[in-house]
Each structure stands twice: as C-alpha cells, then as structure tokens.
Structure 1
Amino acid sequence: MKLLTETLANLSKATGPLKGVTVLDLTRVVAGPYCAMLLADMGATVIKIENPGDPDLTREFPPMSRTSSEPLSGFFAQFNRNKMAVGLDLKQADGKATFLAMVRKADIVIENFRPGTMDKLGLGYKVLKEINPALVFTAISGFGQHGPNSLRPAFDSSAQASGGLWSMNGTVEEPMRVGTVLGDLSAALYAAIGTLGALREAERTGLGQLVDVSQQDSIVSLTENALVTYTETGKVVQPEGNGHPFVRPYGRYACKDGFVFFGAYTDKFWREACRTFGDEALASDPEIDTMAKRFDADTYRRKVKPAVERWCAARTKAELEAMTGDRFPLSPIKSMDEVVADPHLRERDMVVTVDYQGARFDVFGNPVKLSGGTLEKGASAPGVGQHNLQVYRQWLGLDQAQYDDLRLRGVI
C-alpha cells in the first residue's frame, strides 16, 4: 500500500486525513462515484475499476468539452476527480483473481450494482471478508441489500417517488420531483459517512463490515417532519409550493428582476425587516405583532403578504440583498450563471477547475472545509485504464509477462 500511496502522491501530491487509505471504486454514474470522490478529496487513494469494454457510461454524458477534439465529459470529470483508473473485466476468471488480489491490499470497496450482482460474480461481501477481515464493503442501491423490494431496479426518481419526497414537492395540483438527483446525491453522502464510521471501527478492532445504503432510505430521511407528523397526527403532508407549513412570511416573492426568498418570520427578524424597509409602524401593529398572528392565513393575506410584496417589488435582487445584509434572512433566487459568479462561493472554493485528459472543466468544489485542506483544487479525472501500469505492476506486483498477458486478453 505504501508504494501505491507514493505513486498517487507523485501524480497529485496527495495529502489529507485519509492519506494511506486505499479504496477500490467499482461504481458508475453518480451515487457511488460521488461517494468515492468525497473520500478522494480527503486524500484516500481511490482506484476506479471499469470494464475495459464497457466503462462508466457517464464518460459520454454532457456537457462535453468545448475545446477538446475528443468527446470528454464534464459530468464525468466532476464526479471522478482525484481518482486513478484501471480496466478490469470481473466476468473473466483472471479478472476475478486480480480483483481478489487487490482486495487483500485495500481498505474499502464501494459498489452500486443491484443487490446480488457481486454475489453472482463470486465477489460478494462474504467472500471478500474471508480474505480481508478488515475490509469495509460499501453497497449503494435503490432499495437496500435486504427487504421485499431489494432486487428492484431504481433510478434517482424511483427513490424520490417511493421515499415520499415527490408527493411533498411542487403544488397540490402538480407534485414534482426535486430538480436534481437528490436520491443519488443523498445516498452518496450517507455512504461516505457510513464508510468512514466503519473504517474507524476497522482500524480500532481489525474487523470491517458491510455498509448498506439505500436511495429510498436516504430520501425518507430528508422528508423533515412529514413522517412523524403522520405517525403522530394522521395528517399526510401536502406540497406547500414556495411556502412553509407553519411559519409566515417565508417563501418566494417577486422583485424587479426576478425573485427572492424572504424569511423574516420570527418577531426579531420581522421588526428588523420593518425598520429596514421604513415601515416601523408595522412592527407594532397589534394585528401582526407576533409570529402566531402573522401565520394566520387570513391575516397573512390581508396585511403581511402585501407589505412584503411591496418591499420586494420596488427593488432588484442585488438592491434587496445589499440593504438587508445580515439583518434578517433574504436571498436572491439565483440562476446558475449567478451562482458561478457569486464572490462568496468563489472565495470558499466552491467552483474549482478539474483537468480531464487535457480538457479543463469548472465544477463544484467540496462543501467539507477542513482546516488542513482538501484536494479538489487542481484535481484531475482519469482516462479509461490510465493507471493500469502503476496499479498492476507497481502496487499489485504483477511481472511484465503477467501484465502483458492480461492486457492482450482484454482482462485489464
């Protein structure tokens, strides 16, 4: 493991709290690759393993590079930065044997196949833990590794639908999925947390474990108070649109050049808003001087909503953001061009440049900010099988003849 760590360090100057941890990343698309990327950003040596004849399909996902003559994907670069990549056909006997040899030297395996796939390959957790008892095996799937629905195929929308989020989002007339792959992204985050917890236990006891993360489970955990509201009161939460179920004013309001979120619903924030907009009398108006009164639907429609709409309609997003400052919650509803230009996000390195085979993409950074730093700045994403030589010859210890034989037969 030391030689591989040094090899990666020479390629990317790897440091970080997970330096020395080796991850075998068998995953594709978003949930698994994002989980492994988070570990790589913190210094883990992540080896992305792809079938040489059928690599991660996101290598063909848009947007493609504007400047490269080759079709290089910014989508792939974003979720696979800071990784090494090797080719390996797990369906061939020598591919299985090579993978098992890698597992003996690894700390973590991450996969996001449908449950049972790894077992069919003869590479399930029960097999792998026999050859490496300290191995952390993280499995991400639509519905989990057990349960009556575990074998069902799933995408992000499957989780949003079956986990309840779709029914809560949008409006009563038209429930909508959340406009990003939240089932994938949340599963990736929970998988990273579970993987690190299991790794800590393995380091302490020498025993790894299976980390089972379901997209559906992940979505259920993001439904805030909807589940306990139902179990306690029998009420099924309905979509609130841009509003909130129990506080007002809190939502979307139109301004001169778009919309803002206005959230001054507490008594303190409401008084600040009234002062900021020159309506001090509203702060002491006996009809709306408490949070409970302002939440009353009729009172809100008659007195609160018109005041907030008047304040916002007369100003631009930038004017509203500047005048409210840190007095109370108000945020422009930004389009992605405005997000990318946001100087606050720029200062926090939430837009970083990743190199992918000579193409350069600006992608999102890592929201985990460690005082010792993370590795997303100046990162690169690997080509198919780019690190075959370093991994198989230098780390795994294959001799040249073995390496050439596997390569010629398409195993690697």
Structure 2
Amino acid sequence: MTLTTPLRDLVVLQWGRRPAVRACGSLLAQVGAQVTAFGSVDLDDGFGAFTETVADTPEARLAAFARANVVLLCSDRADAPPPPPRRAEQIVCDITVDGDPAHGHWIEPFLQAATGIADITGVAGGPPVICGGAVVEIQGGMLAASGILAAWRTRAAAGVGQEIGLRLVDCGLNNQSTFLPLVFAGRTPQRSGNRHPMAVPWNSYRAADGWILLCSATDEHWAKLTTLMGRPELAKGRFEKLADRIAHCDAVDREVEAWTSTLSVKECIAALNGANLAAGPILDIEGLRTDENLALRGTLSQEPRPRPLSFVRTDVSAQPPPGRPEPAQHRARPLEGMLVLEIGQYTTAPVAAKQLALLGAQVLKIEPPGGEASRAWPPHQDGQGYFFTINNANKRSLMLDLRAEDGRAAFAALIGRADVLVENLKPGSLARLGFDTEALTALNPRLVYCGISGFGALSAYPGRPAFDTVVQAMSGLMDITRTGEKPVKLGISVADVSGGLAGLFAILCALEQRRRTGRGSAIDLAMQDVAVFLTQAAWNGGSTDRHCVIACADGHVVAGVDASVLADAVEMAAGTTRAALVEVLAARGIAAVPVRTLTEIRNDPAIVGEGAVALYEGTDGKTWPLFRSPFRFSGMTPVPLAAIGALGEANADLPAVPGGSLRGAAE
C-alpha cells in the first residue's frame, strides 16, 4: 500500500530508546509523520534512518516534548528521565515489558523465553533456540503504531489525547494461538524443527547447493511430489495416507531429501512450484538483496546501505484523491460504528479483523458453506476448534456461498455498506468472482480493502502458494534462527501473526487517509515484506543481543552474556533449578530469565485468567481462552470479549442488510 496523503500533522517524539519505540517511530515516519529522537543515530540502523535527531540535553528534551502531539515512552527503563506531565491533547504511548520496572532491562531473547516462543523453537531433543530478530519488540512497535492511529481518530474528533499502555509480554503471548490450544487439551507442545505436527512431508531439505523448505499438507500433494521424484510407488503402501506419513515422518524425509539433494535449489523450486506445491529457498540475509519479489515490490532501501522498508509507504509526489473529509464524530471507541467484512482463513486476515473488533468495529466473518477451513481443527469442543475460536473472537459468522449468484448479490450489498474488507485468499480469487478492485470501488468508493497474501498481488511469483514456514524461509528469519548450521523456523507462526498485525496498521492508515479525503483505498500486503521487516537487526553487520541458553535440571535459562563468560555456571546448572541459577547469575550482575513452557504459562493465573488470556464462559456452558486486547486506552472502555458463534449465526440479519440494520460506511 502507498498512502497518497502523508500524515504530516503527526509530530512524534521518541522519549525512550527501546527497540519497540524505535520500530513504532520508524513505521510512523514512513507514512509521513515527523519523528524526532534524541542523540546520534547510526545510519546503518534500519529504524533510526527515518527519524530526525536533536541533542540529548534537558533543554532539547523539553522543547521537543512541547512540539510533539504523540510521545513514545518506555517508563520501566532507567535510560531516560521521566517526561513532563502529558498535555490534554497529547497521545502518550507507554511500551513496557510487563509493567514491572524490575524487568525494564529485558532484551529480546528474554521476551522470547518468557512468552514460550523459545521453548517451541528448535529441533526435537535439542535446546530452545532464540531468533536473532527482534520479533516481539517489532511486533510491539506495529501494535503501538496501530494504537496511536486509533487514538488519533478520537483526538481528531474531540481534540483530546489519551494514554495508551502496551506490554511486550502480552504482544509475545498473542503469537501462541497455534500451540496454547494443545495445552488446554492436556498435551505438551514439543520442539519440532521445521516439521509440522499435522502434515508430512513439511520440512527443510538439503539441495545440492543449499537448503529448500517444502510444505505438503494433503495426500494429493504427496502424490504430486512422488511423481516429481520419479517414485510414484511411494504414494501407495505405508506412506499412502497422511496419518501413515506422520507415523513414518523420518523415513518420508529421507526419501524426499534423497531427491532434493540431487538438484540445485533453483531446480528444486522450479519443479515444486510447477506442480503447485508450496516451497521456497531458505534465503540468508545477503540473498534477500537479489530476491526478485522484494526487488519488484521495492521492499528494500539501497541507500546508503540495503535495509528493510516499511510494508506501508507514502508517495509524497502523488495527488490525494478527490473527495471530502469525514465529519468529525466523537466516539469512545475509535472504530465504533464501523462495519468490517472478513473473508479470512487460518491466521493473517482473522488476526487483523479481530484487533479491529477489539477497537470497537462490528466484524462479520464471511464463511463458505461448511465453514472456514480451521473451524474444526483439533483440539476442539463439540466440533469448534480452540485455534479458530481464539483467532475469531468478537466476530459474528455469516455463511455465504460466493460461487452462487444469490451469495454474490448479498456480498455486493454488504460491500456497499462496509467500511473495511480484509481477506487472505489467494491473489485473484475475488476478481474471479467478479469483485476486483475496480468493482469494489464502484460498489463503494469509501471502502478500505486489504488483501493479505504470501508474496503480494503484485508479485514476481504469481500463483506461488505460501504457508507461514515458506515465508519464514524466504525472508531471512530462518537464516537468523539456527541450531548449529541448520536454519529453523520460529515455532510460532510469526509470519502469519505479523502479517495480521501489519494488516491492522495498514487498515488504520487507510482509514486515517479516508477521514481526511473521504476516499477509500486498496492495500496489497505481502507477508514476505512484513517478515523481512522483522529482520532489521541482522542487516549491515548487525547482530542479535548477546545471550546464551543454559540447560538446568528442570529446563533452560537464557542469560544475557556469551556462553564463554559462563563456563562454570554452565557446569553447575545441570544439577540446579532454573530459579536457583537465575539467583546465582543475578548475584554476579548477570541478567537471566527462565525459558517458560506453555504448560507453565497456561497454569499461571497472572496470565491466564487475570492477564493476557481471559477465560470466556459462553451461555452454552463452554469456556474458551481468548486473548484480551493488547492495548490499554485511558479514554476507552475495553470491548467485552465474546466467542464467535456457530456457522452462519448472523444469517438472520442478512435480509435486512439493504434496509440498513447493519452499520457501516453508508450511514
């Protein structure tokens, strides 16, 4: 997406220096905000390159604070003085670790350890692995930028600012929609490298000159693959069914790698994509500079050195589209009164739409007959899965068959009244149904349309299927997440979740542009662009925070120093607990945190029940774990959590749509 109306009136001050603060500032700067930071900025820094700097003196700080209408804090850190009192019209966003000042010094590896991300990243039988990207911090920056744009709508209407609280631990926990359900079902998630627990073959494989990542999810995929391999007999017998391949996953992987190892990476990918199988090369950071899709989409800046750009940018030369600004309407919840339509599956579009619902929008999830693909994923309660319910909180289900004429007519009526349409279908799917961008604009010129896909609608890889793991492979994330020499994915679906958070930010940018111009816009969001944005720290010789993972008697600890410094502690740790080792290291002035398992997180009432995860009790007697909104707005009452209902439960409202019972842009 390229904004045509730069958000120049956002004057942002980075009072703190936490990576999440700098990521937030970078995103806002790249959509036109005036962003100021204190002190010098290394031009190789992917974030600092987009901000202006002033001297870090008391006088300069006070003057910058006086100019700013948005201030970014990290109040739990001691590396910046307390700011002056907030002015009534200012928006102040405070990004903390978990609200406890004792944890304000935590670095990214600690965040991954504390939120269960490290525990499910790595290979079976090996230690937890830390991703070298500032994943949780950057996701926090995305959310902070989104919260600021949401609060800006209220400020524009009523002239008053507010305080926004955001905890990075909550941001990290919001990645656990895939694995947390397993714990509620009494299972213990395990590290599995690049494998998928419910699909085989799904792994990284050696080629003659590098690594490739292959995702095969069905028996049909396996039959295609065995034909490519010249081994069609493998599609029968002990490997015929998916359950058989899961039971013999090691043997299946050996057969696949016996084929891939005879071909170059380029030959493997050409053959697999030619058969419409999801696969991609595992690119290192250097390799991203020549990736065709990133070059086509302009994802990287080349001057003064290559670095990732935002997935949303501003065209300062473009003329804003004709239209008229929206009338000011003061609402306690920034998106109250808006109608959002979601055609989503699995994670990306559902996550974006869920966050819009938690900001006050009315969200209709449009599902096909039979329901969205993940609705019945196990574990489940009476046929409705935990994963589906977590990702679709606070929505209503509307069943429409868009392949049928009456379904398309009903969808067109909804589009005429909607404010936002977000989907993550394969690019071109809506166009084939008669709803390309031009048709959507004709139905509703004020519509904000966001399409999220693996490589974008504008793509050097048209038609290439993409799963989260493929995007991790083709973004550099697996290059900076290694166990020994082997690149591994993050255990969480980081490309999917981050794609949803990026969609949230892009939609709020587009809604802000619509507020100013009266016109909608179309967003083409590529998960690869977003995942590359997460690799900021690894560019131009950058490196991850110093850390090491130490095995203890009851698990692992992450310490904030190199392993060579802790030779004696590593030897002692095998016979002691995590808590005891953390105390020993603290006495030596070395910060460390335990690697928490998801079972421990599930049993922590400060997280499940009172914290990031609420236990929602429905009228049907079922209890669902639902993530609370990561935002705390001083001027907004939180939206009450609710679980999505049965398939098509909102269809009773459908006949009334043309008459106006559903809210939206036409009001």
Q: Deviation at 1:336?
A: 0.6
Give the whole-Å Cα distance in 2 for the aligned partners of 1:44 and 1:173.
Answer: 46
What TM-score results when the alignment is normalised by the length of structure 2?
0.46
Are 2:256 and 1:256 equivalent residues in the alignment? Answer: no
Q: Deviation at 1:64?
A: 1.1
Give the whole-Å Cα distance in 2 for the aligned partners of 1:246 and 1:78.
Answer: 31
The 8 Å contact of residues 31 and 184 in structure 1, kept in 2 or not, is answered as yes
Query: One-letter code of the match for 1:351?
Result: V
**Match among 494, 507, 528 for residue 216 of structure 1:** 528
Q: Deviation at 1:35?
A: 1.0
The answer for the alignment partner of 1:83 in structure 2 is 395
Query: One-letter code of the match for 1:165?
Result: L
SS of 2:550's equivalent in the other structure is strand
The answer for the alignment partner of 2:655 in structure 1 is 393
Give the whole-Å Cα distance in 2 for the aligned partners of 1:361 and 1:348.
Answer: 14
Deviations 1:296-337 (A, max 9, x none): xxxx63xx1224426755642234556849x76321101111
Which structure 2 residues correspond to residues 9-408 of structure 1 after superposition, within 5 A?
16-51=333-368, 53-65=369-381, 70-229=382-541, 245=543, 248=546, 250-263=547-560, 265=561, 301=564, 304-309=565-570, 312=573, 315-320=576-581, 324=586, 329-346=591-608, 349-354=611-616, 358-371=621-634, 372-375=636-639, 378-390=641-653, 392-397=654-659
Give the whole-Å Cα distance in 2 for the aligned partners of 1:75 and 1:30.
Answer: 9
Q: Deviation at 1:172?
A: 3.8
Q: Deviation at 1:152?
A: 1.1
Give the paired residue count.
Answer: 327
Give the whole-Å Cα distance in 1 for the aligned partners of 2:608 and 2:581.
Answer: 21
Q: Deviation at 1:15?
A: 7.1
Give the whole-Å Cα distance in 2 for the aligned partners of 1:246 and 1:156.
Answer: 22
Q: Which consecutive unaligned segments of at least 5 residues does structure 2 have?
A: 1-330, 662-667
Q: Deviation at 1:365?
A: 3.1
Give the whole-Å Cα distance in 1 for the aligned partners of 2:429 and 2:544.
Answer: 45
Structure with more of its chain in helix, by fraction = 1
Query: One-letter code of the match for 1:207?
Result: R
Query: One-letter code of the match for 2:632?
Result: K
Query: One-letter code of the match for 1:316?
Result: T
Report which stretch shifted further, 200-209 or 166-175: 166-175
Give the whole-Å Cα distance in 1 for the aligned partners of 2:495 and 2:591.
Answer: 28
The 8 Å contact of residues 81 and 382 in structure 1, kept in 2 or not, is answered as no
Give the whole-Å Cα distance in 2 for the aligned partners of 1:195 and 1:346.
Answer: 30
Q: Give the % identical residues.
A: 32
Q: Deviation at 1:122?
A: 0.7
The 8 Å contact of residues 352 and 504 in structure 2, kept in 1 or not, is answered as yes
The answer for the alignment partner of 2:50 in structure 1 is none
Give the whole-Å Cα distance in 2 for the aligned partners of 1:124 and 1:385.
Answer: 25
Query: One-letter code of the match for 2:378?
Result: P
SS of 1:37's equivalent in the other structure is helix
Give the whole-Å Cα distance in 1 for the aligned partners of 2:500 and 2:352.
Answer: 5
Q: Which consecutive unaligned segments of at least 5 residues does structure 1 have?
A: 1-13, 230-236, 238-244, 266-294, 400-412
Report which stretch shifted further, 180-189 or 338-347: 338-347
SS of 1:261's equivalent in the other structure is strand
The answer for the alignment partner of 2:163 in structure 1 is none
The 8 Å contact of residues 609 and 615 in structure 2, kept in 1 or not, is answered as no
Q: Deviation at 1:347?
A: 7.6
SS of 2:558's equivalent in the other structure is strand
Give the whole-Å Cα distance in 1 for the aligned partners of 2:567 and 2:522.
Answer: 55
SS of 1:379's equivalent in the other structure is coil
What TM-score results when the alignment is normalised by the length of structure 1?
0.72
The 8 Å contact of residues 426 and 453 in structure 2, kept in 1 or not, is answered as yes
Q: Deviation at 1:201?
A: 1.0
SS of 2:649's equivalent in the other structure is coil
Deviations 1:125-168 (A, max 9, x none): 21111221111000000100102113211111110111121222
> What do you get for the CA RMSD once the two structures are aligned?
2.7
Give the whole-Å Cα distance in 1 for the aligned partners of 2:641 and 2:660.
Answer: 31
Relative distance call for 1:260 and 1:373 in structure 2 (3 A) is farther
